[in-house]
Chains A and B, each alone.
Chain A
């Protein structure tokens, strides 16, 4: 199969997986408790690394941009530059990449192990639809929790940036905060939440598809995990570009 055909085939399989999983929500059984459990694992479980990522990203943004802003005597805009970078772009993308590495790998490993040990076949033999029981709760949990994780990352990023601006460059905190408030709009906030919705769907669907299509025993599980993380990360970055352009047009983001 040539690469283009393989790509189209994979896209078809993932689309079918998403459709079958989410369309099953219209009737029982819905596995609400499993969805809550996944939200806990994905959301609460990923919080530490996402907050850490946000904090240091905000800090490094100030570290890198403050000297340049100071050269042009606009260092009071440091808060604006950190806020717009974080909320529009770095917060959603870096949070998604962290979650892809942590959760995408866990989902594909778990489902892949279940495939090679015939647990998925056993589930089907016992009358359970794996798409409804396994895939749908994970997709919903990711779609719901990734925006919340992104908001948390953004907040900690701003805190990190403010602390660096204050500690290293002696900028007053209220100057930083005012600059943040002036720099972001409602459209930025909405856009910063819309992106993680799509990223959550991408990470969940790619990880579940790779896990459920595992072949080749334990080595195959390893391959599925690697593919799940790499492919979902690439798709997040590619989608981010097109989403950013679409949001610029629809929400009028980025125009000064």
Chain B
């Protein structure tokens, strides 16, 4: 996920080793070659409106794909298709190598076990406490209550909300609800996580917290993810910072720089249901396309 740029620019390597971290090194396993998510020429229309028009892309293992685009451009629809909440009109969708295009609701249950979904407003069950929300999947599977409590506390510690364990959703702020939604999505350690505009409507510090959680997942737990957003700040955080663990065991965030650059985060941009850009954030910023420049700069 990180690459040394020294060779590219002809600078001699330092003799220092890279700082030890809990980053999972990419391992040469056959299943790492298989993409986590793949769309092949997917089309979808609602009534006469084309939502997705021949969309194709791949999310590799351990990669974060940032999906940008204007409202109504097909970004959230893409997420719903991966979860099987919608079916495409044509094309194919693969999750973890499995073609889910024609899967029934029963068949999708097993696929959804591998996917965690973070909804735009959190989508917490408002009649259940934070504990019961996060424990939801485990309660459905009739897991022993001691193990449920352990797992729930672990997830809430990850999102730094263990103190809110007994609260009800209407007692939480917007940012806290999103974080509980993330904790709920991560129960069971799914290898794929989908974020549907998780920072919409949040203040910048809280949005930054959400992005840090996504960075932690990518870099410390090798999760493959799709992060739907239309906020360029999120693109900046996710494509230029990485998480690592210092000698005291604390998670710290560092910027990619002269020695290291992120290669496991790419950007896709949608326009009117088509993919008009796919590549790194550097290429996005230097794209000559006027639509893309207007989207990035807001002018």
Which residues of chain A have a CB within 8 Å of any CB of chain B? 29, 117-119, 121-129
Contact = CB atoms under 8 A, between A and B. Distances in A.
Contacts of B124: 119, 122
A124 B106 CA distance: 11
Interface stretch (B54-62, B109-117, B200-208, B231-239): B109-117
A129 B112 CA distance: 12
Contacts of B115: 125
A124 B85 contact: yes
Contact of A125 (B105, B117, B121, B125): B117
A118 B177 CA distance: 14
17 contacts: A117-B121, A117-B123, A118-B119, A118-B120, A119-B123, A119-B125, A119-B126, A121-B80, A121-B85, A121-B119, A122-B123, A124-B83, A124-B105, A125-B117, A126-B140, A127-B109, A128-B140
Contact of A29 (B85, B123, B137, B140): B140
Given A29-B140, A122-B125, A129 B105 contact: yes
A122 B119 contact: yes
A41 B93 CA distance: 43
B138 to A, nearest CB: 10
Given A125-B83, A127-B137, A118 B121 contact: yes
Nearest 3 pairs between A and B by C-beta?
A: A118-B123, A122-B123, A125-B117
B94 interface: no
B295 interface: no
Q: Kindly name the residue among A119, A121, A125, A128 whose own CB sees the greatest number of chain B CB atoms within 10 A.
A: A125
A117 B177 CA distance: 13
Contacts of A128: 136, 140
Contact of B85 (A117, A125, A126, A127): A125
Contacts of B113: 127
Given A121-B85, A121-B123, A127 B140 contact: yes
A128 B83 CA distance: 13
Contacts of B121: 117-118
Contacts of B105: 124, 129
Contacts of B136: 126, 128
Contact of B117 (A117, A119, A122, A129): A122
B3 to A, nearest CB: 34
Contacts of B125: 119, 122-123
B246 to A, nearest CB: 35
Chain B CB within 10 Å, residue with most, of A118, A122, A123, A126: A126
Contact of A127 (B80, B112, B119, B123): B112
Contacts of A29: 140
B126 A126 contact: no
Interface string B192-203: 000000000000
B181 to A, nearest CB: 8
Contacts of A118: 119-121, 123
Given A117-B123, A121-B85, A126 B80 contact: no
B80 to A, nearest CB: 7
B105 to A, nearest CB: 7
